[in-house]
Amino acid sequence: MPAFTPMPGDIVGAPPYRATGCLTQGLFLKGDRAAQQRFCDLALNGPAGGALVFEAVMDLVLMTAIYAGAMGSATPPDSEKGVMQEWDVGFWSAVRGGRPGDEAGWKTYWLPSYLFVDSPAAMAAGREIYGYPKTTATFEDRGQDHGDPTVTLVVQHFPEFGPDKRPVTGPLVTVTTDAPTVPAPGLLETLATAWELFNGVAPFHLGFPLPPWPGLGMPQILLRQARDAVAIGQASLQEILLVTAEPVHIANIGLLHAPAVVEITPSASHPIMETLGLGASQVGELGFWVEQDFEVGPAVRLSSPPGGSTGEAGDGG
């Protein structure tokens, strides 16, 4: 492959990226497995062309909020250029898969469907380098303590499609909570204990482990693609990548105040409810927070269709 040519005005640094002073919040919502499977088929199974197969494994959807005080490149010379705040809210589906016929070797991953960030640079870096489905948003009314998931995402989107329709800018996702409910002291002593709690409380028995949640190293599976500028309707690059966010320091953990109410605005351009099987107003009873620093390094290429990009398909192991 040719060497990347840095251009003037480009503020997207090279990976790996280091996030420090980061609060991660996670909330489980009741979605629909069939709806998530349709999205999995669209984002992974279709582009994989039969080389890999993936399946949604549960109704639950993981909604995360990541508030990083400083995010920047860890690679010189970009590491010398500075850091910036990055706030991120996203929706994730647990999927399991691998090569057809090798079900015993299948792994589980988190597949993102919608991610909202407060920085154009974060959106560009996530989309261009890894293929994250990021959209810029304004974050309002954020909660004032680690256990409070309150936030409003103001997004430019199309409520309806049509030849003369125009986008609006308004609340797309709103999270509120009642008076804080503080968990008993010592309830969550380790991250492993926390994840065992979530597996025990959540109403599913999958017969295989879920992918780790943020704070244990989060394996994320992504479709990275670029529209071709000449052959309209074609992709000049298309590949399925594995990206794992690894914690480098964990300061503290706990449970979110409950219940939390998530309200989603109907949208033609961002159909969150239809994609994941979520309701317009949903109560999340189970949530956690992690105070940590983490790093996002190089990806692993799982699948690359013929002509889609260079490199050999791997197994993500």
Residue 308 lies in a domain: no
Residue 309 lies in a domain: no
For position 306, what pLDDT does the model report?
52
Q: What are the pLDDT digits (tens) for 148-201?
A: 999 999 999 999 999 999 999 999 999 999 855 555 444 455 555 555 555 544
Residue 112 lies in a domain: yes
Q: What are the pLDDT digits (tens) for 43-84?
A: 999 999 999 999 999 899 999 999 999 999 999 999 999 999
284, 262 contact by CB (below 8 A): yes
Residue 185 lies in a domain: yes
DSSP string, 52-116: -EEEE--SEEEEEEEEEEEEEE-STTGGGS--EEEEEEEEEEEEEEESTT-GGG-EEEEEEEEEE
Indicate if the pLDDT at residue 277 is higher than 80: yes
Residue 162 lies in a domain: yes
Residue 8 lies in a domain: no
For position 215, what pLDDT does the model report?
63
Cα angle value 31/37/43 (rounded, 5°): 115
- Domain limits at 142? 17-303
Q: What are the pLDDT digits (tens) for 199-245?
A: 544 444 456 666 676 666 889 999 999 999 999 999 999 999 999 99
Residue 150 lies in a domain: yes
Alpha helices per DSSP H over the chain: 33-40, 46-48, 120-125, 191-201, 272-276
Domain count, the chain: 1
Q: What percent of the chain has pLDDT over 90?
A: 70
For position 313, what pLDDT does the model report?
41
Residue 4 lies in a domain: no
User: 208: domain CATH number?
Assistant: 2.40.400.10
